[in-house]
Chain A
Amino acid sequence: MSLAPDATVVLLAVPLAASALLAVLPSYRLSAALNVAAAFAAFLAAASLFVAAPRPNAYIVIDDLNVVFIVLNTFVGFTASVFSATYIAHEIDTGRLGATHLRFYHAMYQFLLFAMNLALIANNIGLMWVAIELATLTTVLMVGIYRTQAAIEAAWKYFILGSVGIALALFGTILIYMAAQPVVGEGVPAMLWTTLIEHAPQFDETLLDLAFVFLLLGYGTKVGLAPLHAWLPDAHAEGPTPISAVLSGLLLNVALYAVLRFKLLLDGNARALAPGPLMVTLGLVSTVFAAFMLYRRRDVKRMFAYSSIEHMGIIVFAFGVGGPLANFAGLLHMAMHSLTKSAIFYAVGQIAQVKGTQQIAEIRGLTVSHPLLGWSLVFGVFAIVGLPPMGVFMSEFLIVSSAFERAPWLALTLAAGVLLALGALVLRMQGMAFGAPVGPTAPAKASALPMLSHFALVLIAGVWLPPPLVAWFQHVAQLLR
């Protein structure tokens, strides 16, 4: 290994160092600024990977697949840190969080970014597992930070379900090693993506099949696939809103990335079971289930958490269908969902702060009392339900039409789920955005910039995707088969 600091070292070292430093810094203004700066540095390092990717070694691999995830992750991590800085100031003013909590919060935020970056660039399936476990534990601690009864219950539920998921994923990881060991030989090489994918055709197929079932259930718990999703709505609703945005926009994607990697191994082995139908089933069940659940929600953050389950279902469905077009659409949908959903959470976080409640019934007439926030919510909901011309429309259209060629009935079911969700979200949004305003009308203090920049990106992506990006996504889609 060379000692020259390449981009991957920055990706890991900066958040880790920032986390240690933030744990001891007393002033929250300074920590918030440092948090933003560190997240921005990580984003720059990630963007540089497009230009010059380091060669894979025993710890780290950068290929065309994970660059997409890393750049998306660090970008949303950065904008969420900007939002978090102003969000936190309000929490200090209202006394919901104290100085010690904030030190803890900022240190954990950077540690979470570190763990997610590590999970994405790890070449070793064991290292990736450890990183995802760390990310889970960090988010558990952050979900419970308000120490209310509901927050602790949510954190505990997340902890137990997440731990079981993590345990199943480890069993799958061990099985993968056992499948690889007779072919690749003992020791570290049998756990590296680079050697695994090369030798996948010779692996024992029954071991691979079994391993994938465990990995899909284990990491699928973290993706939030029904029926393993029970932790997700609580964790989103009770934690600080920047963390809801990070959970929905980033952590779910990291778990999805793990599933995709293992799917590649099975795709590479001609005798192994086809992973597609399993993923299609789980994806469809999640989408339709979440769409129905959306109708009975009374808490706005909980509602958008169910919307995340729906969208993760759509993405898993797309990758399950497979083929260049569906994979392309899945990748695009993942990116669009991350950007849109985190922006919605930025808006919802501010709304909850100015109104002092997360109850949908107690929020009315936002477009009158807070025009910017109100119209942002309207735009965000239109974008997430997949109305044209926003990016989500394009990706959902591609997914449904590519699935229609292969399995019309499945495509119709998915479309029905999407339409059901549209109905629920637009219905609830109307009540919140229009009508006569009730409750406090104090202006929002948080910065609207992160939210608006995400919305602008989503709108631009819906109208015009830059050709290099399209080429990149197409290349990755072919890689995924």
Chain B
Amino acid sequence: MKGLAFDVSHMLAGGLVLTSFLLLYQNRLYALLNMYSLQAVVLSLSVAWQAFVQDASHLYVTAFIALLFKAVVIPLTLHRIIARLGIQRDVENVVGAGTTMLAGLALVALAEVVMLRIAGGADVLAREDLAFALSVVLLGLLMMVVRRNAVSMVVGFMSLENGLILAAAGAKGMPLVVEFAVAFSVLVALVVIGVFLFRISERFDSIDAEALDSFRERGR
């Protein structure tokens, strides 16, 4: 049982990292949203498995929130927003897909190296889970950096957050995991509302010198 529990949670967490990579090279918004739904489903399976292994019933609630909210409600809402606002369907990348994937690989390697150094203390299962979670977090950050479009930046943030939920669920007996999931759902909902209300379609590129000039120095 111990071996099986370990392997299954390993596989699911690895699946999450894999979907993060899939998110990185999508170049159409709808495909990106579908891929995000897939990641949310994998996350909810992973959290549910943790709930079963750790015998922690409150984690089922987290898994359910992930399934309902992240896999269905948010992607559907974003679909409608994209249609209503007529946002450009192609995603512009700042960096090419190949370079992005290489950077992603480097980040995953970094996460593994950092986590494997943690020898004692935490048990093996939690440690491996944490390494995967850190990879997902870093890949989410990478996605926020390389995308120009506001919706795909939001998706990047949400996938980053999936990594956090995975880490929290993997930490044995951690209290407040449900609350964290709810708090993040509120955050994400507000982001989505923000995109819709203020018709934000471009992200703010603070590295872009032109944008800086127009924003910071137009006589302000």
A-side residues, CB < 8 A to B, are 124, 126-127, 129-130, 133, 137, 140, 150, 152-153, 155-157, 159-160, 163-164, 166-168, 170-171, 174-175, 177-179, 181-182, 186-188, 190-191, 203-204, 206-207, 210, 230, 233-234, 237, 296, 298-299, 302, 358-359
Contact = CB atoms under 8 A, between A and B. Distances in A.
Interface string B197-220: 010100110100000000111011
A187 B186 CA distance: 25
B175 to A, nearest CB: 5
B143 to A, nearest CB: 12
Interface in B156-177: 157, 160-161, 163-164, 167-168, 171-176
B164 A302 contact: no
8 contacts: A127-B176, A190-B174, A206-B119, A207-B121, A234-B215, A237-B220, A296-B217, A302-B220
B85 interface: no
A259 to B, nearest CB: 19
A126 B176 contact: yes
Interface of B: 114, 117-123, 126, 130, 133-134, 137, 141, 144, 153, 157, 160-161, 163-164, 167-168, 171-176, 179-180, 183, 186-187, 190-191, 194, 198, 200, 203-204, 206, 215-217, 219-220
Given A164-B160, A174-B168, A182 B122 contact: yes
A34 B126 CA distance: 50
Given A164-B144, A171-B167, A204-B118, A156 B198 contact: yes
Contacts, number: 125
B173 A187 contact: yes
Contacts of B194: 155-156, 159
6 tightest Cβ-Cβ pairs between the two chains A and B: A186-B173, A204-B121, A126-B176, A206-B118, A299-B220, A174-B167
Contacts of B160: 164, 167
Contacts of A299: 220
A171 B174 CA distance: 13
B78 to A, nearest CB: 16
A167 B164 contact: yes
Contacts of A358: 220
Contacts of A182: 121-123
Given A170-B164, A230-B206, A359-B219, A137 B190 contact: yes
Contacts of A186: 172-174
Given A159-B191, A171-B133, 8 more contacts: A150-B220, A156-B194, A160-B153, A174-B174, A177-B174, A210-B118, A230-B206, A358-B220
A150 B171 CA distance: 42
Contacts of B190: 137, 140, 159
A61 B202 CA distance: 44
B187 A163 contact: yes
Nearest to A213: B114
A227 to B, nearest CB: 10
